[in-house]
Structure formats: structure tokens, C-alpha cells
Amino acid sequence: MTTFYEVVNQSQPQPRFQYIPLGTPDQTVDHGEDVIQGLSQVPKTLPCRYFYDDQGSLLFEQICTLPEYYPTRTERRILTTAAAEIAEFTGGCELVELGSGSSSKTRLLLDAYSQLAAPLHYCPIDVSGGMLKTSALELLDQYPQLHICGRVGTYEQALVNLSGDSLGEPTRVISDPDLPRLLIFLGSTIGNLDAVTLQKFLLQVQQALRPGDYFLLGVDLQKSIEILEPAYNDAQGITAAFNLNCLRHLNWRFNGNFDLSQFAHWAFYNTAANQIEMHLRSLVSQTVTLQTLNFRGALAAAETIQTEISRKFDLPTLKTELQAYQLQPLHSWTDPQHWFALLLCQRSISA
């Protein structure tokens, strides 16, 4: 793979900003196998990554500011008080963030780490190169001592990239090999992974960390259905628009004929599985096609397509699961209502 670097500030002896696209454009071409498979099975499903085209990313940013959607502001509040302690726990680190987006919460960590007498290195990882560059340039302005080496790609691609080869050590993103790594995964995005995918993810995290490295995880906790269901059924209908937008994305990507007016948003808390489930319910009996994928499928009236799960965790159970991947919980922080938690783990030595 050809790696190329964008050097933004050439007056520095070392470039302050580099980014590496992970995979060639060809590898990111979507062949839609998971779409065909999901729409061919009963009950029907769609991978939640189709939420995040440009429009979907904007809608998600809006969701994060909704009064009903408590996770973002609760995590931010926890981070505001915990950031200094986190930096104290770990000391100087290279900060590597999976799904960095606008890096807005990361600023709280960068503020805390810039108080330490250690180099300030940040590796944001995001599928959107545009978003990554824009926020990187803002950060470089605000933190004169900061060096950024981003990765443009999915978190799966990034974890493979950070793990090095199967025989070697995890690849450092910066030149100082002695600085430990803090891998950051905020927003309770782990909740969008089903149990099997979460296991695979944690194994990749384990491989991307050396013993002594750290993992900081944002986790949405189990709570009353009266809080949970409105968070995914907001009064302004932004979550509904976000959910429906994945059909528009499929139409654009695969030359489809989904008629958005013939589907309704449906989100509920499955108490047995401890997860919010988002679906699109077909309002009529209809046939849908995705020409590029050569796909044609029938939907009965009231039939649903599951578009997302958002799991809500029990912290002690999750801590035990993390330990199975040599991720030793060091400390957790939560809000007064125990709605959300930040969990700091340290990679222990393999047994």
C-alpha cells in the first residue's frame, strides 16, 4: 500500500500533522454483501454503518445535542471532572482515538495531558478524512505543542494497522517508543456491537496494546426504560430522520428505490437483551430493489428491518469480560445518576 503524508506546517522541524489513509480507495468500495444478506434473512437487518453518510453524520451530531439524548452530555460531564485524574493515572501517553469525529470531547483530555511534562501526541482515527483534517487543524492551532498523526479508515482497519504484524509488537504511531499508548473509545459505541462482534473487537484492542498500555472506554449503563426509550424517540424526530436516512444512503450507493415515506421509525428497549433496538417498519406491502447489487426483495406490510442495536451495560459484568482480554480495569468514573461510565483499563501481561 502506498502511504502518503500531508504536511501542513512545514516550518516545524518535524511535521505537526500527518495522516495515513488505511487501505486503497478500492478496498473501501462497498460491495454490499452484508446488505444483501441482511435483507434476505428473516427478520431483516441492515448494518448500522449505513447511517453514516455526510447527512447521517450531521444528523448524529444533532442527536448528540437533543435534550432526550443523555449519553453525550453525561459522558462529557464525567470527562470534565475525570480527565485530570486519567492523565495522572497514565502519565504521558500517545493518545489514539477510535472514531474521533470532531474530537470535541478529546479536547478535555488534551487539556489534561498538556499539563504533564510529556510530549503531546494524538492519533485520531475516523472514516471521514474531511472531518479528521478539519478538526486536526483546529487542534493544532489551540495546542502549540501538539503533534497529530491521524488514520483515515474504519476502526477495524485502524486496529489491524495499530497491531503491527502477527509476530511483531503493536505499531507505535509516534517516534518515541517508550511512551505508552492510551486507546480511547468514547460515546458507548461498543453498545452498537453485538456480543460476537464485541469479542472480536476486544481481541483486536488487546493486540493493539502492549502490556502497560491503557484503554479508555465510554459505556452507557442499564437504566429505566423511561429514560432510555425517549432518548431514541426524540420529540423533534431527529432520530427518526437519522434512521430513515440509511435508506436514502442505500438508494444513493446502490441505485435503490426505497421510498422513505413508506417506512416508519420504530425504537424500543428490549429489557431481556438490555438493548435499544432500532427498526424501520414497512407501512405497506412493497418490493424494493438495489440495482447495483442486483437485489430485489419483498416486504410485507408491518414487516421490520432492524437497523441498530444499542446495548446498555452492567459495569461489573463488562469489567469481567474485559479481563478475559488482558484488559485490567484500573478505575471507573460515573455521573451521580449512574447513567454512564468511563472505564480506564490497563493491558496486563498475557498469561
Q: Which residues contact 47 (CB under 8 A, 6 or more apart)?
A: 34, 35, 38
Helix or strand (DSSP H, E) at 250:
helix 238-254
Cβ(310)–Cβ(275) under 8 Å?
yes
Q: Which is nearer to ligand AVI, 113 or 185 (CB)?
A: 185
Contact between 103 and ligand AVI by CB under 6 A: the answer reads no
Contact between 63 and ligand AVI by CB under 6 A: the answer reads yes
The whole-angstrom separation of Cα 93 and Cα 120 is 8
Q: Select from 102, 154, 157, 192 the one that contacts ligand AVI (CB under 6 A).
A: 192
Q: Which is nearer to ligand AVI, 9 or 197 (CB)?
A: 197
Residues in region 160-189 near ligand AVI by CB under 6 A: 187-189
Q: Select from 94, 126, 213, 308 the one that contacts ligand AVI (CB under 6 A).
A: 308
Residues in region 9-48 near ligand AVI by CB under 6 A: none
| Residue 219 CB, nearest approach to ligand AVI (Å) | 10
Instruction: Classify 115 as helix, strand or coil.
Output: coil
| Residue 198 CB, nearest approach to ligand AVI (Å) | 13
Binding-site size for ligand AVI (CB under 6 A) equals: 11
DSSP letters of 143-187? -TTEEEEEEES-HHHHHHHHH--SSSPPPPSSS-TTS-EEEEE-T
Q: Is 261 exposed, middle or buried (0-12, 13-18, 19+ CB in 10 A)?
A: exposed
Q: Which is nearer to ligand AVI, 245 or 310 (CB)?
A: 310
| Residue 166 CB, nearest approach to ligand AVI (Å) | 30
Q: What does residue 161 show for φ and ψ, rounded to 5 degrees? A: -65, -40
Cβ(269)–Cβ(79) under 8 Å?
no
Question: On the CB side of 31, how many CA atoms lie within 13 Å of its CA?
Answer: 3
Q: Select from 191, 209, 280, 332 the one that contacts ligand AVI (CB under 6 A).
A: 191
Q: Which is nearer to ligand AVI, 128 or 346 (CB)?
A: 128
| Residue 189 CB, nearest approach to ligand AVI (Å) | 5
- CB atoms closer than 10 angstroms to residue 177: 8
Q: Which is nearer to ligand AVI, 143 or 185 (CB)?
A: 185
Residues engaged in binding ligand AVI (CB under 6 A): 63, 71, 187-189, 191-192, 232, 239, 308, 310
